[in-house]
Homo-oligomer: A and B are copies of this chain.
Amino acid sequence: MKRTRISHGLAIHGGVGILSRSDMTPELEADYRAALAESLVAGRRALDTGGSALDAVVAAVRVMEDAPIFNAGLGSNFDERGVVTMDASIMHGPTLDAGAVAGVTNVRSPVELARLVMERSEHLMLIGEGAEAFARAQGIPVTDNTFFHTERRREELRRAKERSRGRPTVQGDGAPAGFSQASGPRPATGREIGGADDPADRAGTVGAVALDASGRLAAATSTGGMANKTWGRVGDSPIIGAGTYASSHCAVSCTGWGEYFIRNAVAYDVHARMTHAGVDLTEAVRAVLYDVLEAQAPRSGGMCALGADGSVELGFNTPGMYRGWIGADGEPHVAIWGDE
């Protein structure tokens, strides 16, 4: 996928799961490409019908939330209890307004809820049942947790639990299974994570960035989190500055090993390198992905990013990332593998 620059449009990612061609069937690959194109076209349609960059990222992310092949909304990963808990965030570059939700179990579109938190609450972030009460008060669709369940994710949970079975766990009073052994501080370089030894288990997230004809940037991210994650675990997707950031300089949505994206404030760091060090978007994205993340956690993820000048970056340190962009001509461009 060639580097490009657009006058207005979107870039999206659908996570960095399924890392090798051998694990991918032709049918599933076709489904991914079709869903990515559909997401891009939906975002572009929002722009064409007078919508803002914010409208575009929500439209694009909603298509991926509704597609069961992505780990967000319908088709989200299960946590260790077999429950789907979802996180999302959104940010509007021109104003720095932002919204985020974490740990919601029944909201049909978490990204829509994040936008409502931004626009209709006096807060930036709501979590858990409080976020769900806000969703009901706003009248957006809520549903039963089973709505989000898919057989494929149930199978992934089963495999993740199998892989983690060899590990010691501690059973506390009233605690669910799956807590990690409490034998003392783990090494700072520890690569273990949740039940997810397989990077594919922790790599699912969807996101979009958009630049509208008025030059406004926006970013949004939505996820079901890691497969077999500890009850209550939150990654970078709902964290403004980690999984999502937008300013007048850039818009960024990340996917990958959330813990590393949080501690390096990855999305904000792209903005910070542009504004404090004066580098362009390409250099900022490369520095964060390869100099920072790759050094701490190889194959840890990627991001879609847009600059105010329309430059598009779809970067990752994994073998692939579901991704795409769409510009002024309305033609969706999608890719999965690193060599495309």
Give A residues with C-beta under 8 Å from B. 91-92, 94-98, 102-103, 116, 119-131, 133-134, 136-139, 170-176, 179-182, 184-186, 188-190, 192-194, 229-235, 239-242, 245, 258-259, 262-265, 268-269, 272-273, 276-277, 296
- Which of A128, A131, A181 has most chain B Cβ within 10 Å? A128
- Give every chain B residue within 8 A of A134 (Cβ-Cβ): 175, 179, 230-232
Q: Please measure, in the bound complex, the distance between the C-alpha atom of A133 and the C-alpha atom of B230, giving whole angstroms.
A: 10
Indicate which residue in B123, B232, B239, B277 contacts A129 across the interface (CB closer than 8 Å): B232
Complex contact B272–A136 (CB within 8 A): no
Kindly report how many copies of this chain are found in the complex they form together: 2
A120-B182, A182-B138 are known contacts. Are A233 and B126 too (CB-CB below 8 A)? yes
A-B pairs, top 10 by smallest CB distance, nearest first, are: A130-B232, A137-B172, A95-B188, A130-B231, A137-B175, A276-B276, A241-B265, A272-B272, A265-B268, A276-B277
Contacts of A126 in B (CB 8 A): 230-234
A233 to B124, CA, bound (A): 8
Q: Which residues from B are CB-within-8-Å of A103?
A: 127-128, 130
Q: 24 A–B contact pairs at CB < 8 A? A: A94-B188, A102-B234, A119-B184, A119-B186, A120-B184, A120-B186, A122-B180, A122-B194, A123-B259, A128-B128, A129-B231, A130-B230, A130-B232, A130-B233, A136-B172, A139-B172, A239-B239, A240-B242, A241-B241, A265-B265, A268-B269, A268-B272, A272-B276, A276-B276
A300 smallest CB distance to B (angstroms)? 13
* Chain B contacts for A129, CB-based, 8 A: 128, 231-232
Complex contact A262–B233 (CB within 8 A): no
- Chain B contacts for A235, CB-based, 8 A: 124-125
Q: A180-B120, A188-B95, A239-B241 are in contact. Are A137 and B272 (CB under 8 A)?
A: no
Closest to A79 in B: B130
Query: For A259, what are the chain B residues with a Cβ–Cβ distance below 8 Å?
Result: 123-124
